[in-house]
A and B are shown apart, each in its own frame.
Chain A
Amino acid sequence: MENASVPSVDNIRFDGSARTRWRLGFDRVIGWLLPLLFLVAILPILSLVYYVSARALPTLSWTVLTSTSPYRTDALGVPIIGTFEVMLLATLLAVLFGLFGGIATAEFLSDRVAGWVRMSANLLVGTPSIIIGYFGYFTFVLYFGWGLSYIAGVFTLSFFMTPYVFRTADLAFTSVPRHIREAALGSGAKPSQYILKVGTPIAFPQILTGVFLAMAIGVGETAPIVLTTQPGVLVPQTVYSPVTFLTQLIWENFAQSQSSGLQVLAFQAAFLIMVVVIALNIVVRLISSRYRKRLEGLYA
């Protein structure tokens, strides 16, 4: 009782039929063509890294990086310090909101409520930065009357960074192996003791990647900063002072004029940001790969 409808064929070499030729040929051609699409990602990256470096490096000197003189228009000292100061406080705030929020979501919320909270964190990540920027401008600059200031920029940027820390903290605590969690809580540990003594050491590397990720995103953001601070010629003296952020400098130089001097400075700023962002990404990658290996070793 063999299948009468389809003849049983014994030939396993190419049978010369047009259909077979097409099938095998198409698969082979696709197998060569699709990998070439990687070039769409690789060529722009190489071009970007090359040209930004080529425009920035020849004139990038120690003086350019460190001079904070308010009379120099070719130095980056003030924006570098400004960026550092903004990032410092914004990261602290983002860690404060995000870390406690993420841990609370993983440990104290029912699945239903946690689902809503997670969705809102995801939506916040998907919210265009211009909207967060406008929100910061309207709320902090105008409504709270802080003006275009260091502190307004810090709060706006921290709102932008919070969901990234939040998500990794939540994920890190949610993925603590169930038996470890239950063993700790079952042996009479209070939730607070579990979080501090058991959960945090396990979740720490992953939370760290979340913080670095948030920093990489924060330091490259433009719209929220441009709309809530104004560039100053000095490093901020009070929290209401103007402050210059590197991305902001790129935008301002770009918007004001395309004179070559300002353009070089913008490229130098772009180079610095690019280096910082790529470095943070590499660190994230290293930590998470080591962390995964450790996890496999421990719980496999």
Chain B
Amino acid sequence: MSGEASSPSANGPVLAVRGLTVTAAKRKILDGVTLDFPPRSLTAVVGPSGCGKTTFVRTLNRMVELTPGLRVEGHVDYVGQNIYGPGVNPVLVRRRIGMVFQRPTVFPMSIFENAAFGLRLIHEPEEVVDRAVTEALVRAGLWDEVKQDLDRSALSLSGGQQQRLCIARALAVNPRVLLLDEPTSALDPAATQRVESTMERLKQDIVLVLVTHNVSQAARVSDRVAFLHSGRLIEVGPTADVLERPKDPLTEQFITGRFA
């Protein structure tokens, strides 16, 4: 296994996954996945339920370690550094690689404090926090809706607004990578549409990894599609290629809905 799989050059991959295998009591949840995430891209990870796509995305910021009994082999290089390497702290990994969950997970505090959460941890000065929160809310496409009442409880927001606040909260610490684990599965169509347009804007400057079971969502927002099946990466490529001219019969079956 080579130590330096990729170099942190401007156009090299931000995240490079090499031979990633996750085992739970002898059962392989992920089996030798190798995949690159180039800068300024949105990769949709699709596959039938139980294919390991949520586990996959959770290995990318070491959240997988919170589930007891899983063993991770292979490596994930973040700008050339293996995040599973010696001397790497998961707490610091997760600052660089943010995550948004299926359901909105706003904290029981004000809108402002939610967005400022990550910055408060490192005791950023107040004026930095102010500016970073504003920028993050703008980038998440929530600013215009909440700028009047930043001190209101975040729980008073609608579901779609809460989810965009979660995106803003992750953006405030300025990560290079944002992992989105089925971020719209709990939202109505209108809210889904807003979150999708936020994703489309964000992929202009950071790496997005979107887990979704919804092929049409992948078609709408992603540049690239990676298809997982039974823990193995079956096919990856530009969205149009994979969805319109799949090379593997398993991919074709999934796209045409025979798994559902």
Binding site for B on A (CB under 8 A): 1-15, 19-20, 23-24, 27
Q: Are A2 and B174 in contact (CB under 8 A)?
A: yes
- Does B44 belong to the interface (CB within 8 Å)? no
A-B contact pairs, 5 of them (CB 8 A): A3-B132, A8-B96, A8-B176, A13-B87, A13-B88
Are A10 and B78 within 8 A (Cβ)?
Answer: yes
Stretch at the interface among B46-54, B117-125, B191-199: B117-125
A13 to chain B: closest residue by CB: B87
Q: Does B173 contact A (CB under 8 A)?
A: yes
Nearest CB in chain B: distance from A117 CB, A: 32
Q: Which residue on A lies nearest to B78, using beta carbons?
A: A12
Task: Mark out the residues of chain B between 138 and 196 whose CB falls within 8 Å of any chain A CB in the assembled complex.
Answer: 139, 171-176
Residues of the A chain whose Cβ atoms lie less than 8 Å from the Cβ of B139: 1, 3
Please pick, from A6, A9, A10, the residue contacting B172 in the complex, using a CB distance under 8 A: A6
Cross-chain contact B122 with A1 (CB below 8 angstroms): no
The one of B128, B175, B204 that contacts A1, using a Cβ cutoff of 8 Å:
B204
Q: A2–B89 contact, CB under 8 A?
A: no
- Which residues in A have their C-beta under 8 angstroms from that of B174? 2-3, 6-8
CA of A290 to CA of B114 in the docked complex: distance in angstroms?
42
Contact A14 B8 (CB under 8 A): no
> Is the beta-carbon distance between B89 and A3 smaller than 8 angstroms?
no
> Is B135 among interface residues, defined by CB-CB distance under 8 A?
yes
Contact of A6 among B81, B83, B87, B128 (CB under 8 A): B128
Contact call A24/B89, Cβ cutoff below 8 A: yes
Quick check: is B245 within 8 A (CB to CB) of the other chain?
A: no
* Nearest CB in chain A: distance from B137 CB, A: 11
* B92 adjacent to chain A (CB < 8 Å): yes
Min CB gap A284→B, angstroms: 29
Contact A14 B132 (CB under 8 A): no
Contact of B89 among A5, A7, A8, A12 (CB under 8 A): A12
Interface members, chain B 67-90 (any A CB < 8 Å) = 78-79, 81, 83, 87-89
The reply on B100 being an interface residue by CB < 8 A is no
Q: Which of B88-145 contact A (CB under 8 A)?
A: 88-89, 91-93, 95-96, 119, 121-124, 128, 131-132, 135-136, 139
Q: Within 8 Å CB of A9, what residues of B?
A: 95-96
Q: Is B79 touching A14 in the complex (CB atoms < 8 A)?
A: no
Are A12 and B96 in touch, CB under 8 angstroms?
yes
Q: A3-B135, A6-B172, A10-B96 are in contact. Are A19 and B89 (CB under 8 A)?
A: no
The interface of chain B, by Cβ under 8 A from chain A, is 8, 78-79, 81, 83, 87-89, 91-93, 95-96, 119, 121-124, 128, 131-132, 135-136, 139, 171-176, 204-206
Query: CB-CB < 8 A to B8: which residues of A?
Result: 10
> How far, in angstroms, from A8 to B135 measured CA to CA in the complex?
14
Determine the distance from Cα of A24 to Cα of B93 in the docked complex, in whole angstroms: 13
Contact of A3 among B81, B88, B93, B171 (CB under 8 A): B171
New contact pairs (13) apart from A3-B174, A13-B92, A23-B122, CB-CB < 8 Å: A1-B204, A2-B174, A3-B132, A4-B131, A5-B131, A5-B132, A5-B135, A6-B172, A10-B81, A11-B81, A12-B78, A13-B89, A14-B87
- Knowing A1-B139, A7-B174, A10-B79, the reply to whether A20 touches B92 (Cβ < 8 A) is yes
Q: A1-B139, A12-B83, A13-B87 are in contact. Are A6 and B92 (CB under 8 A)?
A: no
CA distance A242 to B89 in the complex (A): 70
- Of all A-B residue pairs in the complex, the 7 with the closest CB atoms, nearest first, are A3-B174, A5-B131, A5-B132, A6-B174, A8-B174, A10-B79, A3-B135
> In whole angstroms, how far apart are the Cα atoms of A2 and B78 in the complex?
18
Inter-chain contact A6/B119, CB cutoff 8 Å? yes
What CA separation (Å) do A13 and B93 show in the bound complex? 8
- Let me know if A12 and B81 touch, CB within 8 A: yes
Interface-central residue, B121, B135, B139, B204, by most chain A CB under 10 Å = B135
Q: Are A19 and B78 in contact (CB under 8 A)?
A: no
Contact (Cβ within 8 A) B173 A6: yes
Complex interface: chain B residues within 8 A of A1 (CB):
139, 204-205
Which residues of A lie under 8 Å from residue B122 when comparing CB positions? Answer: 19-20, 23
Cα distance A19–B89 in the bound complex, in angstroms:
15
B255 to chain A, nearest CB (A): 33
On whether the beta carbons of A14 and B92 are closer than 8 Å, the reply is yes
**In the docked arrangement, what's the CA distance between A4 and B127, Å?**
13
Given A1-B139, A12-B81, A13-B89, A6 and B205 touching (CB < 8 A)? Answer: no
- The listed residue (A3, A10, A23, A24) touching B136 by CB distance below 8 A is A3
**B119 lies within 8 A of A2 (CB):** no
- In the bound assembly, the distance between CA atoms of A229 and B131 in angstroms comes to 74
B178: min CB distance to chain A, Å? 12
* A211 → chain B closest CB, angstroms: 37
B176 x A12 contact (CB < 8 A): no
Complex alpha-carbon distance, A3 and B139, angstroms: 9
